[in-house]
Structure 1
Amino acid sequence: MADKILATFRIEPEKWELFKALATSNNSTASAVLLQVVNDCLDNNQIPSTSGNHAGLDKVEVLIDKRIEESLDKVKVLIDEHIEKNLAASLGEVRSQLEESFSEVRSQLEELRGKSKAR
């Protein structure tokens, strides 16, 4: 195994925390992401532009949009499940109330028939 060095750099604490959170949300670590950036630069023999070209931010935006879409899909599924469950329960209650009402109406009808036959 080749020797490795510890590389350090300065960054605002807020940015570092956001970067670590982004890496974690993508099942990685900040160190692993930075190592991948270094490897990508070496593989492509190119350093991403730091002169206002926000290609990296575009990638982050795409990742954020993807995560939002995935989260919304999960929420939609949960809402649909909740609606189905509550709709089934509500329909069951309505059916039970209707059956009860029909039973009462039948009883009243039979009572009225009995009274009319007695006349």
Structure 2
Amino acid sequence: MAIENFFTTRFTIKGLEDIEETDKEEFGEESNIYYCYFRVFSGELESFFDGGTREVYQIWFDKDIELKQGMVVVIDSVEYQVSSVKNNDTMVGRNMSGNKHKKAIIYKVV
């Protein structure tokens, strides 16, 4: 079965954009609508900066989508920070040429 059949959750991406006439950046408007497979990564709350906690999730999505660490993913109006992105072209020595995709670890602070 093609992995694309599991990409049923809609998401958008917010990237950093320069603020004119400054040396600062801000997150821009949401862009195109994409689809992913969205799931809880560990189910545990993790400690995060100065006593805060975060929930960690994983998304799988099309290999052609430009998503990078530091961007923001919006799913059902909830913003998630992108922690890391990995290309998945092979899996445990098996050629996954029909199922090439990317995985991202995302989180929200709670």
- What interval of TM-score do these two structures reach, taking the shorter chain for normalisation? under 0.3
- Between structure 1 and structure 2, the one with the greater Rg is 1
TM-score by length of 1: 0.20
Q: Relative contact order: is structure 1 or structure 2 higher (C-alpha 8 Å, sep ≥ 6)?
A: 2
TM-score by length of 2: 0.21
Greater strand content: 2
Greater helix content: 1
